[in-house]
Amino acid sequence: MFTGIITTVGTIAAVETTAGGARIKVAAADLNLADGQVGESIAVNGVCLTAIAISATGAVTNFCADVSRETLRCTVGFALGARVNLERALRLADRLGGHLVSGHVDGVGTVASVLAAGDNRVFVFEAPREVARYIAVKGSIAINGVSLTVNEVNNTQFSVNIIPHTLSATNLGTLVAGAPVNLEADTVARYVERLNHFGAQS
């Protein structure tokens, strides 16, 4: 599990095609992996991946992870040179500053528009219909792994207001209209749907 509070932005430094999908190397910038262990989970652009190797090159920490064909099919952000949001897995003693994020992306959305609102920016996203059903006003959403609060919902579109710190500390500040993003809806919404569906069948 993760919190959606991004630690740093890294770069996809290498991509190797494998029989199962791809093996990526991430230059992890300021991600502190001094106590990191092979096998631990790291969220890369909101996708939970398993570190299979950890190394250091000068002041930059690197880690490698395998990405399955299915993950490559239903997410974005693993192209060579891409800037990716990074977060290590939540520890039980950590503060939960965002919301509980599983790292299981529900679908890929698209930036519909970006508008300045003082120092902030208001982003409008288009979500796939199967994901939009879980998005509610004042609810939580993870966009490229970033925990955000939904401001407005209009059919399959929703908006969020992003503050300067988040714009500079994540890769959301580089997004423009038409850019694809990973979306993960609040886990609670999926359980509510399941409970309602199960009750209707009883």
Domain positions in the chain are 8-88, 107-196
The CATH number of domain 8-88, selected from 2.40.30.20, 3.40.50.300, 1.10.150.120, 2.20.25.90: 2.40.30.20
pLDDT digits (tens, 9 = 90+) for 83-125: 999 999 987 777 777 788 899 999 999 999 999 999 999 999 9
pLDDT digits (tens, 9 = 90+) for 32-52: 888 889 999 999 999 999 999
52-60 long-range contacts, CB within 8 A, separation 24+: 52/23, 57/27, 60/27, 60/28, 60/29
Question: What is the model's pLDDT at position 47?
Answer: 98
Q: What is the pTM of this model?
A: 0.92
Query: Is-contact 89 33, C-beta < 8 A?
Result: no
CATH 2.10.109.10 fits 107-196, yes or no: no
